[in-house]
A and B are shown apart, each in its own frame.
Chain A
């Protein structure tokens, strides 16, 4: 999906300022905020869309400046896209993504989780659903052990099924490092 972007010059009247958790201010076009239900509702409630209303900066205490920049990048790319409609749940992982989206979300898992949290907080359905789908597709075709490694999940029971002897946990699944995986999983060689 792609949309032609008309050229518009933002004016102070159609902007609001949001402040990230680390105190950095971002000027946001009101058109962009329509993609975030949280911001759209806030703007509607405080009537920030009116030119005669003084617009105070909106503090976003849960979102860092790095996340905010990433989110603004997303909002600008999808500025002229039609409104996101949630499809029915099909319990399927056969998703396809735009090249731009794959590049945009080619980030480490922990950044992805933080972005997902931010998308949930700001209620940006398209971004939220896309990250969830990317997360699910990272698990596709993987065994439990591989999922554990990829998502940094520590096992909590360690008894061998035959002997009942406690098993030492593999050091590769420790919390020290976040493993990265490709979108097309390759099983281990036999």
Chain B
């Protein structure tokens, strides 16, 4: 039986060029070989990505792609969206991401993947493996952005080296936590803080000040920069 991945590279490249970003991304999740085929044959396409935007909230993980100017599909294109749910389905699909197999259900209405998990803490492993896979696939030349929504005190703040632009929504969190969060990140090009109900004072040597641009929303909150 002939297999798709055994086809000549020029044939595979033509097939991949008929797919959009989301399909290419999902194809790369099929196996290691499919990952390396996509990575090696879609370098030109990936060089045309302006940035990759991760959105991380307690309720959802989204990854969107923005192509560069000149690309006819100049709009944010969602490549994966995961909504965690407690395990209640008997049937689910196993998807390999970043060398690990995770359990998902596909939603019919919005074509989203629904993560199947048991514990609340499993949200971070999901984000970790998705982040690792995305960065490995698209490479270091792409700009990675992260939108965090930090609402709960027990919500973790994943640290990723490739993130250069951060936007954070904050509620009921200590300023020191945000300070520590950015101290673990590389120097940011742009930080946008939606302060919400957060109070406190940033350290004088806070790494937030090293960012090229800091945009603070909700300035009526008693925070001292």
Instruction: Report if A128-B18 is in contact (Cβ < 8 Å); known contacts: A91-B45, A143-B113, A190-B108.
Output: no
Quote the shortest CB–CB distance from A168 to chain B (angstroms): 10
Q: A113 touching B7 by the CB < 8 A rule?
A: yes
Choose one: B4, B26, B33, B129; the contact of A142 (CB below 8 Å).
B26
Docked Cα-Cα span, A113 to B104, in Å, equals 30
Any chain B CB within 8 A of the CB of A105?
no
Smallest CB-CB separation from A88: which chain B residue?
A: B72
Docked Cα-Cα span, A92 to B8, in Å, equals 21
Chain B: interface residue count, which band? Answer: 35 or more
Name the prevailing secondary structure of the B interface residues.
mixed
Docked Cα-Cα span, A94 to B195, in Å, equals 43
Any chain B CB within 8 A of the CB of A110?
yes
Any chain B CB within 8 A of the CB of A102?
no
Instruction: Report if A154-B10 is in contact (Cβ < 8 Å); known contacts: A95-B18, A161-B100.
Output: no
Any chain A CB within 8 A of the CB of B213?
no
Q: B32 touching A136 by the CB < 8 A rule?
A: no
Chain A: interface residue count, which band? Answer: 35 or more
Q: B102 touching A161 by the CB < 8 A rule?
A: yes
Q: In the complex, which residues of chain B have a beta carbon less than 8 angstroms from the beta carbon of A152?
A: 1, 3-4
Smallest CB-CB separation from B42: which chain A residue?
A: A91
Q: A113 touching B27 by the CB < 8 A rule?
A: no
Q: In the complex, which residues of chain A have a beta carbon less than 8 angstroms from the beta carbon of B2?
A: 110, 113-114, 117
Q: A148 touching B30 by the CB < 8 A rule?
A: yes
Q: B122 touching A156 by the CB < 8 A rule?
A: no
Smallest CB-CB separation from A137: which chain B residue?
A: B18
Q: A157 touching B99 by the CB < 8 A rule?
A: yes
Instruction: Report if A160-B101 is in contact (Cβ < 8 Å); known contacts: A136-B15, A167-B94.
Output: yes
For chain A, residues 90 to 142, give those with C-beta under 8 angstroms from any C-beta of chain B: 90-93, 95, 109-110, 113-114, 116-117, 120, 128-129, 132-133, 135-137, 139-142
Any chain A CB within 8 A of the CB of B19?
yes
Any chain A CB within 8 A of the CB of B21?
yes
Q: B129 touching A161 by the CB < 8 A rule?
A: yes
Q: A90 touching B72 by the CB < 8 A rule?
A: yes
Docked Cα-Cα span, A155 to B30, in Å, equals 6
Docked Cα-Cα span, A50 to B224, in Å, equals 89
Q: In the complex, which residues of chain B have a beta carbon less than 8 angstroms from the beta carbon of A190?
A: 89, 105, 107-108
Q: In the complex, which residues of chain A have a beta carbon less than 8 angstroms from the beta carbon of B129?
A: 161
Q: Which 7 residue pairs of A and B lie closest in terms of their CB atoms, listed nearest first? A: A136-B18, A145-B93, A144-B29, A161-B100, A113-B2, A132-B14, A144-B95
**6 more A-B residue pairs beyond the given contacts A135-B15, A152-B1, A188-B106, with a C-beta to C-beta distance below 8 A:** A91-B18, A95-B18, A139-B26, A151-B4, A162-B125, A175-B1
A contact residues vs B (CB 8 Å cutoff): 89-93, 95, 109-110, 113-114, 116-117, 120, 128-129, 132-133, 135-137, 139-148, 151-162, 167, 170, 175, 178, 187-190
